[in-house]
Amino acid sequence: MRMRPTLSWIPTEDLPPGTTDLRPVADALSAGGVLVLSGAGISTESGIPDYRGEGGSLSRHTPMTYQDFTADAQARRRYWARSHLGWRTFGRARPNAGHRAVATFGRHGLLSGVITQNVDGLHQAAGSEDVVELHGSLERVVCLSCGAFSPRRELARRLEEANVGFAPVAAAINPDGDADLTDDQVGDFRVLPCSACGGILKPDVTFFGEAVPPPRVEHCRELVRQATSLLVLGSSLTVMSGLRFVRQAAQTGKPVLVVNRDPTRGDRHAVTRIALPLGAALTTVISRLGIPVDDEAAGAG
């Protein structure tokens, strides 16, 4: 049965307005045991657009679905051409103040864990440890036939050799790492098979319409069970893969706090939503917690 991915969400009820009061976040972190759940909004200050915020990528493109990728060779050609070009620039993104703040909270023992819906690796680059990448990572490639994993940089080298001179100018880079290209720009881009078995290669990320591996979901559920509160950073919570953990926390009486400029699908489960830019907001929280600025800067990576 073909799945229809959820790409947008429109509130059907009156939601409480966002505030600028950061005290609940500071109080939760002071108590410790906070589980962070981050989304694309935490990476926008690193130059990576989000999906649904102002200027989000969904306003101009439809992400690749798992069903289209596996069923259509031309769709794979378009994806790999766009992704290969995007990889060249995506890898230059650097952690911002929001990522560094999360790493600082972790170093000071205030967090029980970090779950990210992002595939950019910026939490780890900032110094966060034991990050659960809910939707995988662009750093890896997997073969859909033999299941072998390989580094993305290895495939990038092979694609460079197979597509000498491929250098179109992209209109934009998207949160999933691909670039906006026309069909003419994609041209006859050469897609490469698995070097081990000749199978179809796919980035080790969860596409829209694809399920997150059940063991990973259960691991995240266990992190929610162990946490004292859940702090959502930069996610609209439109898709169920993240929203389910908000619902789980709320159902078990754990406070849910959201820092996101726009309303989210999880707001009715949250005790508060702070409508402030993430980098500035989390930097302010660090100051309120009395963490030295030099210590915070140490996670710059």
**What residues are annotated to the active site?**
135
Helix 278-288 / helix 23-31 crossing angle, nearest 10 deg: 60
266 in a labelled binding site: no
224's tokens: 């929610």
8 is in an annotated binding site: no
The annotation status of 146 as a binding-site residue, yes or no, is yes
- Residue 198 among known ligand-binding residues: no
Residue 220 is assigned to a ligand binding site = no
85-112 in b/e burial notation, b at 16+ Cβ within 10 A? bbbeebeebebbbbbbbbbbbbbeebbb
Q: Which residues fall within 8 angstroms of residue 126, CB to CB, at 6 or more apart?
A: 95, 99, 100, 102, 103, 299, 300, 301
**236 annotated as belonging to a binding site for a ligand:** yes
d(CA 94, CA 48): 10
CA dihedral (161, 162, 168, 172) in degrees, to 10, reads -90
Q: Are strands 229-233 and 256-259 parallel, antiparallel or unpaired?
A: parallel
Q: Is 42 annotated as a binding residue?
A: yes
Tokens 């073909």: give the residue: 2
Strand order, beta sheet including 149-151: 149-151, 136-143, 201-205
Q: Is 14 annotated as a binding residue?
A: no
The answer to the question of whether 18 is labelled as a binding residue is: no
Residue 57 is assigned to a ligand binding site: yes
Residues contacting residue 176 through CB under 8 Å, at least 6 positions apart? 63, 64, 119, 138, 205
- 235: annotated binding-site residue? yes
Q: State both tokens at 215.
A: 């063991």
Measured distance CA(35)–CA(38) in Å, rounded: 10
Residue 252 annotated as part of some ligand binding site: no
Tell me if 44 is assigned to a ligand binding site. yes
Q: Is 58 annotated as a binding residue?
A: yes
Residue 38 known to bind ligand: no
Q: How far apart are CA 236 and CA 8, in angstroms?
A: 9
Distance from C-alpha of 295 to C-alpha of 293, rounded to nearest angstrom = 5
What residues are designated binding site? 39-59, 117-120, 143, 146, 194, 197, 234-236, 278
What residues are designated binding site for NAD(+)? 39-59, 117-120, 234-236, 278
What residues are designated binding site for Zn(2+)? 143, 146, 194, 197
